[in-house]
């Protein structure tokens, strides 16, 4: 079957985007365990910097939050904690991330999450012409304009990429 013929049924993320009139493109790839954004960017022929990771983390009080980061960069949890005014931030365990988001790890989208969580976006992402971000299922990304993250999702820009 040719890649263009693959169809992904609607997800909570695509329902969320459609309900807000957000225009998006669909990008299906063969999910590889632990392949991450390097694998999806390779298969889809897009720079890894434009493939955005959705990371579920928690602050020192155990409150969950979402961080959106370039696929080829890591989050400085110290810089993030400082930027959002908490003592510390750490990644959630996979089970906790799944419980908060409602998505399987590897298929986590910032759109249509089970629990409402604050969303933070690495500010340099907003300068990109377009991005690919998880559409709510493993092996499925949606292409959107970065301003959707701030305008529709309410993501707060922060500087938290490791140098």
Residue 43 belongs to some domain of the structure: yes
Structural domain including 55 reads: 23-158
Burial of 24 from C-beta contacts in 10 A (0-12 / 13-18 / 19+): buried
Predicted confidence pLDDT, tens digits, the chain (163 residues)? 334 445 567 999 999 999 999 999 999 999 999 899 999 999 999 999 999 999 999 999 999 999 999 999 999 999 999 999 999 999 999 999 999 999 999 999 999 999 999 999 999 999 999 999 999 999 999 999 999 999 999 999 999 999 7
> What is the sign of the dihedral through the CA atoms of 75, 92, 26 and 120?
negative
Residue 66 belongs to some domain of the structure: yes
The CATH number covering residue 38 comes to 3.90.960.10
9 close to 137: Cβ distance less than 8 angstroms: no
Residue 14 belongs to some domain of the structure: no
Residue 7 belongs to some domain of the structure: no
* Confidence (pLDDT) at 2: 37
Q: Tokens at residue 58, please? A: 């928690």
* Confidence (pLDDT) at 5: 43
Predicted model pTM: 0.94
Give the strand pairing for 131-137 and 51-59. parallel
What distances in angstroms separate CA 95 from CA 43, 54, 74, 103, one per listed residue? 28, 15, 21, 10
Residue 6 belongs to some domain of the structure: no
Residue 60 belongs to some domain of the structure: yes
DSSP assignment of 50-78, as one string? Answer: GEEEEEEEEETT--EEEEEEETT--B-HH
Residue 28 belongs to some domain of the structure: yes
In angstroms, how far is the first alpha carbon of the chain from the final one? 41
* Confidence (pLDDT) at 9: 79
Q: Tokens at residue 50, please? A: 């434009």
> Domain tally for the chain?
1
Residue 15 belongs to some domain of the structure: no
């Amino acid at each position: 079957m040719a890649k263009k013929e693959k169809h992904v049924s609607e997800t909570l993320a695509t329902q969320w985007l459609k309900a807000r009139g957000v225009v998006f493109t669909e990008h299906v790839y063969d999910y590889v365990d632990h392949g991450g954004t390097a694998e999806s960017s390779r298969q889809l022929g897009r720079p890894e910097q434009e493939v955005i990771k959705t990371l579920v983390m928690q602050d020192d009080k155990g409150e969950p939050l979402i961080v959106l980061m370039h696929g080829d960069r890591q989050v400085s949890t110290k810089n993030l904690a400082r930027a959002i005014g908490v003592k510390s931030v750490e990644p959630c365990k996979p089970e906790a991330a799944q419980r908060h988001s409602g998505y399987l790890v590897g298929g986590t989208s910032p759109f249509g999450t089970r629990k409402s969580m604050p969303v933070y976006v690495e500010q340099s992402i907003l300068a990109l012409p377009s991005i690919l971000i998880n559409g709510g299922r493993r092996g499925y990304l949606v292409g959107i304009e970065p301003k959707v993250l701030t305008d529709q999702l309410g993501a707060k820009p922060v500087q938290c990429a490791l140098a």
